Amino acid sequence: MILVEDIHFSYDGIYTALQGVSLQIEKGERVAIMGTNGAGKTTLIKHMNGLLRPQHGRVIVDGTDAKSLSIAELSRTVGLVWQNPDHQLFLDSVRKEIEFGLKNLGFSPEEANEQCTQTLKNLGLEGLAERSPFALSGGERKRVALATVLATEPRVLALDEPTIGQDAHQKERLASMLLDLNERERTVIVVTHDVEFVIENFPRTIAMADGRIVADGSTSSVLSNEDVLERCSLTPPQLTVAARALHKVFPQVPERLALLSELENAVSEILGVVP
C-alpha cells in the first residue's frame, strides 16, 4: 500500500511541482495518473520510490515512512520505469542491463541468467539479448528499460509514459503483461497521456493539474467529465465522443460514457434488444 499525505515539492524553490497532494493506492490496484505536461505526475511517482523526497508531508510505503528508507530499499518495493530509457540504460548489452539489477539484489549468476531469459521472452526481446541498447530503436529501448525493472519483480510497478513509441501489437503485449502482474497481486501505476490505453486497462484514474489532484475515481467517470478533461488538457475517449453524438439524436443516451459496455447497453436500449 502507498499512502501520500499532503506532500509539497518545488524545484530550486522556484517551480512548484506538487501542492498538497494526498492519495492512497492499495495493494493490487491498477491506477493511471493523467494530466497536462507540468501537472506533477512524474514528480509524484518519483516520490514513491525515493528519487525525490517531499519538502512537506510524507509518503508511506507498506506501512513504513519512506524517509527512513534508502532509494535502493524503496526500489525493491517500487520499481520505476522512466519515460526516457536513455536515463536508465548504461551497459553494452541488453542481457547485462537486465542481469545488473538482479545481481545487485543478491541473485546468483545462474538465477540472474534464468530470470533474465524469462523476462526477455515475456517482452519479445529474445533476439536482442546480446545487442547494445543504444543500437536499438526508441521503442525497443523502452522495452529494455521495462525489462530491467520487471526482472527484479517489485511489488509495485510504476511506468512513465510506457506506450510512447510502441505500436498496437506492443501495446497489447504490454497490457497483457501488466494484467498478468496485477493478477499476481502486483500494484501497477502508469503515468500516461494515452487515454484509450487507460480506458481499456485501468479501472482507476487520478487526474492532475498545476500540482494538484483534480479528480480521483473510476476511469469511466473521470474521463467522461468534460470539466476534468478540459482542465487537464486531455483528449476525450472516442467512446465518449460517440456517446455525445448519439445523445444529440437520442437524448436518452447519457453524454458521459467512456466504456464500450456502457455504450453497447445504451444502443441496445434504443434498439429495444437485450445485449
Q: How far apart are CA 202 and CA 33, in angstroms?
A: 10
pLDDT of residue 71: 86
Helices (H) and strands (E) in the chain, counts: 11, 10
Per residue in 8-40, pLDDT tens?
Answer: 999 987 788 999 999 999 999 999 999 998 899
Task: Specify the higher pLDDT residue, 134 or 269.
Answer: 134
Q: How far is CA 193 from the centre of its chain?
A: 10
Q: How far is CA 28 from the centre of its chain?
A: 13
pTM for this predicted structure: 0.85
The grid cell for 274 is 437485450
Q: Grid coordinates 546480446 are at which residue? A: 130
Q: Delineate the domains of the chain, giving CATH numbers in brackets.
A: 2-236 (3.40.50.300), 237-275 (no CATH)
Does position 165 have pLDDT exceeding 70, yes or no? yes
How many residues would you count in the chain?
275
First to last CA, the chain: 38
Beta strands in the chain (DSSP E): 2-11, 15-25, 30-35, 56-61, 64-65, 78-81, 156-160, 187-191, 204-209, 212-218
The grid cell for 199 is 480506458
Contact predicate 49/71, CB 8 Å = yes
Per residue in 47-106, pLDDT tens?
Answer: 999 999 999 999 999 999 999 998 888 888 999 998 888 888 888 899 999 998 888 878
Amino acid at 237: P
Q: Any idea which of 164-173, 225-234, 237-246 has the lowest mean pLDDT?
A: 237-246
Q: Rounded to the nearest 5°, which phi and psi values hold at 233?
A: 55, 45
